[in-house]
Chains A and B, each alone.
Chain A
Amino acid sequence: DTAVSQTPKYLVTQMGNDKSIKCEQNLGHDTMYWYKQDSKKFLKIMFSYNNKELIINETVPNRFSPKSPDKAHLNLHINSLELGDSAVYFCASSQDFGMSNQPQHFGDGTRLSIL
C-alpha cells in the first residue's frame, strides 16, 4: 500500500498555465507538507498543514496556493507558471506537527517541467 501518493508523477506544461498537483496519505497523519527540490538538489519546505490548518508558509510566491480539503489530502495549485517553477515537488506527512522525533514520510515526487 502506498503511504503517500502524489499525482501526476510528471507534468509538462507551457509558461503561463495553471496546474494542480494532488497528494494523499493513508497513514492517519495529522500533518502534511510540500517541498520543492530545485536544480541544485536542495529540498526546501514550502508549506505545512496540520489538521487542515496552514502552519508553515515559507517565502513562496502567492501564485502557489495549497488546499487541504481534509487531513489526508494536501493539494498544490500553481497559477501563471514560470520557467523557474520547473522542479520536483514532494509531498510528505508526519504524525504531528513540531514533534522532532517523528520522521516525515515522502511521496515519490512530481516532476514539473515548464516549456
Chain B
Amino acid sequence: DQQVKQNSPSLSVQEGRISILNCDYTNSMFDYFLWYKKYPAEGPTFLISISSIKDKNEDGRFTVFLNKSAKHLSLHIVPSQPGDSAVYFCAASASNTGKLIFGQGTTLQVKP
C-alpha cells in the first residue's frame, strides 16, 4: 500500500520555463511534507518542506503548494535550470511515527 505517490515517472521542460512536480498521499495523519532532490550516485538532498498547517512555502526558485482537501502537493521550480535535472522525491511524515514515507520519484530533465 503506497501512501505517497508520484504518478509521473518523468518530466521534461525547457530551460527558463516552469517545472511542476506532483505528489499525492492517502494518509490523513501526515503533518509534514518534504521534497528531496537526488543526483545519480548521490544520496537524496533536502530541498524544501511544508507543514500541514500551511498551504504554501517558498524558497527562492522553489515553491511547494499543499492542498489538504485533495491530499495533493506540488513543487514548482521557476525558472527551471539545466542544473535542476535530477530525480525529485516527495516524502511525508506523521509526527507520532518519526518515519518518512517516500514517493517513487519523478525524473526531471531541463533542456538548454
Q: Interface residues, chain A, CB within 8 Å of chain B?
A: 4, 31, 40-45, 48, 55-56, 90, 92, 97-101, 103-109
Contact = CB atoms under 8 A, between A and B. Distances in A.
B24 to A, nearest CB: 15
A36 B73 CA distance: 24
A55 B98 contact: yes
Nearest to B43: A106
B102 A100 contact: no
Nearest to A6: B43
B51 A101 contact: yes
A43 B89 contact: yes
Contacts of B100: 45, 104
A68 B102 CA distance: 24
B84 interface: no
A55 B49 CA distance: 24
Given A43-B89, A43-B102, A100 B31 contact: yes
A52 to B, nearest CB: 16
Contacts of A55: 98
A92 to B, nearest CB: 8
8 contacts: A45-B99, A99-B98, A100-B32, A103-B34, A104-B100, A107-B43, A109-B41, A109-B43
B44 interface: yes
A81 B101 CA distance: 26
Contacts of B97: 98
A56 B98 contact: yes
B95 interface: yes
Nearest to B95: A100
Nearest to A107: B43
B7 interface: no
